[in-house]
Amino acid sequence: MKILVVDDEPDVQALFEQRFRREIRAGEFQFSFSFSGEDALNYLENHASEVVMILSDINMPGMSGIELLRSIRKDRPMAPPVIMMITAYGDKENYEQAMKFGADDFLTKPVNFTELKQKLQERYEG
């Protein structure tokens, strides 16, 4: 399962790779990383059929996670990827917006990796 992680913090890559070391080694998950919304759209342009799931931060410089979400839902209605939004601001407004534009899940930072792992496993198996 290919997962695209979108976050403006480059260290997120190291963190995910270490957190999911076993799963990556076992070949369960395959992670790609984009460091902005624009980046992510470019990546999807070339790897549209591969990406099954997107984990995106909301507060990013340039294109925000919500804008990214809207753009993906608008331009790629066929074979839609699962999109989970992650934000440091767990407020109602962000949540409602994310849900309105078609997010599948909503997580708040700091990310609980045990929970995330569980959710990913469920999607992987289901």
Give the interface with other proteins as residue ranges (CB under 8 A): 9, 11, 14-15, 18-19, 21, 88, 91-92, 109-111, 113
CB of 83 to other proteins, least distance (A): 21
- Name the H helices within the chain: 11-19, 21-26, 37-47, 65-75, 92-100, 113-125
Measured distance between the N- and C-terminal CA atoms of the chain, rounded to whole angstroms: 12
Residues whose CB falls within 8 Å of the CB of residue 101, separated by 6 or more in sequence, listed in order: 66, 69, 70, 73
CB of 74 to other proteins, least distance (A): 29
CB of 7 to other proteins, least distance (A): 10
Q: Which is nearer to other proteins, 9 or 75 (CB)?
A: 9
Q: Which is nearer to other proteins, 49 or 114 (CB)?
A: 114
